[in-house]
Every structure is written in structure tokens, then in C-alpha cells.
Chains A and B, each alone.
Chain A
Amino acid sequence: MSDPSRSPGSPGPGQRPVEMGVALFVLALGAITMIGSLQVGIGWGAEGPKSGFFPFWVGLIIVLASARNFWRALEISPARMFAEWSQIAQVRKVVIPMAIYVALVPFLGIYVSSALLIAGFMRWLGRYGWLMTLVISIVLPILIYFTFEDWFLVPLPKGPLEDWLGL
């Protein structure tokens, strides 16, 4: 996402490289769709069109539309900004904890991970005191536990803590 041609003092990444990147990303997905379709056959089989027939054309349209989007992205003025670095930093403050959270859920279960996520947010972004942080980050997952496991009867992923508690 960073653009090496810009000085580090610039207020943020340009819209142009981001749009180009998104167009290439979608184009790649279209190409993958076409390759996958070719593997299962795109022609006419015993039961009519083969499995890859429809997705192959879908993939081709994605590639063509993305090529056009890439072309249009080239015309965007380099001066147009995607977002300010400070704004990108704000977004990262959600994406990074969320990525850690998603990685933790299979091991710690959803309750412990959620408590950590809420606590992290409150300390890091909300600048709350420890007492407030601890109370909310522990009470909310317990509320969620009773809502889902007892009321809706929907089991959510659990980890070592729940095993240890015998839940």
C-alpha cells in the first residue's frame, strides 16, 4: 500500500496506487477462477455444460472489467489522496487486534479472546482505567456466554479456560 515514489513526509498514500492495486487483486481472482474452471472442464459434457463452463466466463468478465478498472486508475491524478497516514493508523488499530483475535479464537475459545479484545481496545484506544477495563471485559463475555449457551442453545468455541472450569 505504501508508495515508494513519495516522500515520507507526504500526508498519505495516493488514491492511484491503491486503485491500481485493487484492480490487480480482482484481476488475479478472476484469473484464478478461470484456471480453476479449466481444471474441471469448460466444454460440453455428457450432462450439458461442464462445471467450469459458467465460472470460466465469469472469470473472463472479471479479468476484462478489472483491466478496464486498472486503465481508469492510471488516469487518476497522483495528487488525489487515499487517506491520511493518521487515518491509516486508526484503521490499523482495528485490523491488527482483530487479526490477533481471529488467530486466537481456535486456541483460546471465543470468550477469552473476546475478553482480551475488549480489554485491549478499552486500554489502548479508549484509555480507560484498569478497573473499568477489567470489569467490562470480563462481564460482557459472561453475558454473551449465558445469552448464547443457555438462552439460544448455540455452543460457541471454547478453550482451555472453559475446560478447566468444566463448562
Chain B
Amino acid sequence: MEGIGDLLHGFGVVLSWANFLYMLIGITLGVIIGVLPGLGGANGVAILLPLTFSMPPTSAIILLSCIYWGALFGGAITSILFNIPGEPWSVATTFDGHPMAQKGQAGEALTAAFTSSFVGALFAVIVITLAAPLVAKFALEFGPAEKFSVFFLAFCSFVGMGKEPPSKTIAAMMLGFALAAVGTDTVTGGLRLTFGSTELLSGFDFLVAVIGLFGIGEILLTMEEGLSFKGKATGINPTVVLQTWKGLPRYWFTSLRACIIGCWMGITPAGATPASFMSYGIAKRSSKDGEKFGTGVIEGVIAPETAAHAAGTSALLPMLALGVPGSPTAAVLLGGLLIWGLQPGPLLFVEQKDFVWGLIASMYLGNVVGLAVVLTMVPMFAAILRVPFGIIAPVILVICAIGAYTVHNNTFDVTMMLVFGVVGYFFKKCNYPLAPLVLAIVLGDKAEEAFRQSLLLSGGSISVFWSSSLVTTIMALGLVALLWGGISRALNRAFDRRSRTA
């Protein structure tokens, strides 16, 4: 297996004291970001991205991806101790995690959550190690039409798989494409949609959008809900950890199923949030203690946490191998690669071997370091939430503003951040999904380029999108994903009728 050799080489790249330090800093920052309301994985990485421009790309991606792992871990802490999901994907963790904490089993719940996160991530990294090079090799032969069909599939998945109404998903997504189009046309170099404004010449930066939509928008929602943090004691110590670990292997099947659900949902960009809900739902239906779910059973913590982490991690597979990120945070990391002058996509595996395998190796190490950090430092992280909101809120706002400013050293971006924040608040309240909007801003130019090049090659005939069996297959999968809501409803109805007559 050449993959193993490459991976060992990657470990060689990563194993330096400096990188290990970046890993520790990244995980710690990530957990803090995951714990605080208004700072999430995507937004935290977006704020710190401009600060890494001067670092070597491998160290930078280690730092940023570790922030991502840390944020994934951190979401569980607030869910279990405070009943406040720090991240959307940890909502399902509150269902059984918080009742466990109320019963005085916070230590068990936290240990189970962190360990499951770790298992999920590890499974996903192994999938990435084995599958990414193959996918990349396959994708090397993609022409513009194939590339566009992959984008098409990715965006259609949002429409069909999301729980939001399709028309809202489409509106939000297309708004992202429209925002991406503002400024310089990447194909011809001409200006468009600026309406004479000099501020819009460079277009809308996705980092500013992410900081506004996820950061400011989240703060506004938190204010509206008037959160008061009343947490349970952590009660975590080595005895509890070991005791819980002893009990965990019993749930190996729940874990495995959650890993598979997570990887599937992460690679098709449905994301960690639906993965965690789906895994929780299936575990509840198939477990023999199904009716006890929601009252504080450990299985109800394992299922969503494993799936969320597997999804969050495997979202990096399509980003690395195809250049199509599976989650908003992966989209931000992809934007980072572009800024560091790396072209994400299949060629990365050929031209930037050190970087890719260094990153994959850092995923293994980062998650091990992450597990150790969160298990030992939970009380410290929980203490952060006890800092009064009157101090934390303005500090987060200032950090967001600095993050938006440093993208282009431009104060206009700070204004745009606030506009995006208010829009994000209303979108969230009206059930418009934000992830496809952000992904569309990141990928808009590339998707358009692929679309126009395909048309150029075919002389303007749209039939280029079903000209070969590969393109047709991917486009057809896209259409299935697009209409999945309707299809699954029809299937359910047919199934119901049959079971009723039987």
C-alpha cells in the first residue's frame, strides 16, 4: 500500500516541536471557541486565517485544523454541563448528555462524549487515508464538465438532505453564488455587479461573510434567548474516565453505525448536524432501551457525538481530493489553501505531497492530543462560561471585528460584517440555512468557471452535461439528491400503504 508509506512520510513532516506546539495551541483555542457562544469552528478559523499568512502552510493548516478538532470537542462540554449546544452539531448531545449531568453523571457523559468524538474522528481519518488518494487519482482526469457536475451534486445534496424548505435552501445558496459573482469576473477579468462602487471592486470576501453570519448572528441569537449560564459540576477524574471506558466497548455497534452515518453525511456535504440527529434517531429506534433515550442514557451521547465528529472530519476528504468542501469550516480551510497559493483538488496529492500527508498525519495526532487536552482540562474550559456575558459578549464582538478587518486591512469589511450579522440573525430565525450560502460564496467562482468552460468546449450546447457516462451519472445523482425530499416522502407513503395492507 503506497498510502501507508505516504502517511509515514507525513508523520515525519509533522513531528517537530514547533508543530506539536501549534497543535496544542490550536486544540486549546478550538475548545475555547467551541465553548463560547458566537465563536464556532468556521468563524474561529476565519478570524485566525489572516494571521497565518506568514506561517509555512503545513504549520498553518495544522494550527487551523486543530482549532477545528478543538471546536468539535468543545461543543460537547457546553451541551452536557450547561444544556447549551455550543455548536449546532452538539444539539443532539444535549438530549441525553444534560440529563446525565443532572443525575450527577457529568463525568461519565463527558468521557463518553470525548471518547466517541475521538473514535468518530479516527474512523473518518482512516477513511480519508485510504480513500482520498484513490478519489484524487480518479478525479485527475476530470474535465470542466465533470468538475461542474461534482459541484452540482454537492449543492443539490444541500437542497434534498437539509431539513429546511427547499425553496429557502435554494434562495440562500443562490444568494451565495450572486455574492461570489460581485467584483472581478475571474474568466474575462472584467468588472460586474459593482454598480460603480469602489468598495465592491474586490467583491465580497467569504471570510467576512462567515464572521458576520456565524459570529455576529450567533451573538444576536444568544442575546435574544437571554442565556444565563447555570452549569453542573464537571465531576471528571481518572477513575470515572477508566470506569466509563470499561463500559464503552458494549456499544461498539452503535459507534460503528454512527461512524458510517457520519462519514457518509460528511462526504456528501450534508454536514455534522444532520448526521448527529440521524445517528441519534436510529440509535433510539433500534436500541432495546429506546424508550429510555432522553432521560440520560450513555448510548444517547455516544451516537450523536461519534457521528458529528466523523462527519466533521470526513468533510475534509472531498475538500482535499476534489476541492469541494463538505462543511462551512472545511470551506474556510479551502479558502485558506487558496490564499497560501495551494490549489485544492486532485493535483494537491501529486504536487504537494508533504502538505497533504502532513495534514492527514496531523489529523491522527491532533485528535489524540485533543482527547488528552479535553479530558484533563474540562474544568478550566467550563470556567470560561462562568465569566459574565456582559464582558464576554463585547470581547467576542471586538475579536470578530478585528478578524473581519484583518482579511483585507479594510474597515469597510467591518461594516459588511455587521450587515452579514443582522442578515444572519434574520435568516436563522426564518429557517434559511447558512452553510450552503457560505459554501456558494467560496465555490461560486470555481463552479462558474467550470460551467462556462464546459459550455465553451461544447460550443454553447448544454448537452455537454450528459455527454459521457461519468458526467451523466454524477448529474443524475445530483438530481436524485435535489429531489430527495419528494422521493423519500413518496417512498414512505408507498411503504406505509404496503405495511397497512399487509
Using a CB–CB cutoff of 8 Å, the interface residues on chain A facing chain B are 15, 18-19, 22-23, 26, 29-30, 32-33, 36-37, 39-40, 44, 47-55, 58-59, 61-62, 65-66, 68-69, 72, 82-83, 87-88, 90-91, 93-95, 98-99, 101-102, 105-106, 110, 114, 117-118, 120-122, 125-128, 136, 140, 144, 148, 152-157
Assess whether B427 is in contact with A93, with CB atoms less than 8 Å apart.
no
Taking CB atoms, residues of chain A closer than 8 Å to B170 are 61, 65
| Bound form: Cα–Cα A163–B195 in Å | 36
In the complex, which residues of chain B have a beta carbon less than 8 angstroms from the beta carbon of A148? 402
User: Is B383 close to A, CB under 8 A?
Assistant: no
Q: Bound complex: CA of A69 vs CA of B187, how far in Å?
A: 33
Taken together as a complex, chains A and B put the C-alpha atoms of A50 and B226 apart, in Å, by: 50
Determine whether the beta carbon of B398 is less than 8 Å from that of A90.
Answer: no
A152–B51 touching, CB < 8 Å: yes
Residues of B within 8 A of A118 (CB): 391, 394-395, 398
Interface contact B452-A58, CB-CB below 8 Å: no
Shortest beta-carbon distance from A94 to chain B in Å: 5
A7 to chain B, nearest CB (A): 22
Contacts A52-B192, A95-B220, A156-B402 given; does A47 touch B187 at CB 8 Å? yes
A110 to B400, CA, bound (A): 12
Q: Which of B168, B178, B192, B460 contacts A69 (CB 8 A)?
A: B168
Q: Which 4 A-B pairs have the closest CB atoms?
A: A126-B390, A36-B193, A121-B394, A48-B456
Q: Is the CB of B401 within 8 A of A102?
A: yes
B256 within 8 A of A: no
Across the interface, do A87 and B226 meet the contact criterion of CB distance under 8 Å? Answer: yes
Q: Can you list 22 A-B pairs, Cβ within 8 angstroms, ordered by A? A: A22-B432, A33-B178, A39-B192, A40-B185, A49-B460, A52-B192, A58-B181, A62-B171, A62-B174, A62-B175, A65-B170, A65-B171, A69-B167, A82-B429, A87-B224, A87-B226, A101-B401, A102-B417, A110-B405, A128-B390, A148-B402, A152-B51
Q: A29-B175, A51-B192 are in contact. List 13 more A-B contacts (CB 8 A).
A: A32-B193, A55-B193, A61-B170, A61-B174, A65-B168, A91-B223, A95-B422, A110-B402, A117-B398, A118-B395, A121-B394, A126-B389, A154-B406
Q: How many residues on the B side are at the interface (Cβ–Cβ under 8 A)?
A: 64
Bound: A54/B448 CA distance, A: 7
**B51, B401, B430, B448: the one within 8 Å of A19 (CB):** B430
Given contacts A33-B178, A36-B192, A62-B175, contact A90 B405 (CB under 8 A): no
Mark B residues whose CB is within 8 Å of A.
50-51, 54, 165, 167-168, 170-172, 174-175, 177-178, 181, 185, 187-188, 190-195, 216, 219-220, 223-226, 388-391, 393-395, 397-398, 401-402, 405-406, 409, 411, 414-415, 417-418, 421-422, 425-427, 429-430, 432, 448, 451-453, 455-456, 460
Residue in B172, B187, B193, B421 whose CB lies within 8 Å of A37: B193
Q: Which residues of A contact B429 (CB under 8 A)?
A: 18, 82-83
Q: Are A58 and B178 in contact, CB atoms less than 8 angstroms apart? A: yes
Q: Which of A39, A82, A122 touches B390 (beta carbons < 8 Å)? A: A122
Q: Which residues of A contact B405 (CB under 8 A)?
A: 105, 110, 156-157
- Given contacts A36-B193, A62-B175, A105-B414, is CB(A44)–CB(B224) below 8 Å? no
Given contacts A90-B224, A101-B401, A102-B415, contact A37 B192 (CB under 8 A): yes
Chain A residues, CB < 8 A from B188: 47, 50-51
What residues of chain A lie closer than 8 Å to B393, measured between beta carbons?
A: 94, 121, 125
A87 to B406, CA, bound (A): 32
- Give A52 Cβ to nearest chain B Cβ, in Å: 6
Within 8 Å by CB of A33, from B193, B388, B409, lies: B193
**Min distance, Cβ B116 to any Cβ of chain A, angstroms:** 35
Complex alpha-carbon distance, A136 and B390, angstroms:
11
A118 to B392, CA, bound (A): 9
Of chain B, the residue at the smallest CB distance from A34 is B178
**Complex Cα distance A19/B427, Å?**
9
Does A144 contact B402, Cβ atoms closer than 8 Å? yes
User: What residues of A have a CB within 8 angstroms of the CB of B191 in the complex?
Assistant: 40
Report the separation of the CA atoms of residues A122 and B388 in the bound assembly, to the nearest whole angstrom.
Answer: 10
Do A59 and B171 form a contact, CB below 8 Å, given A53-B452, A87-B224? no
The residue on A at minimum CB distance from B447 is A54
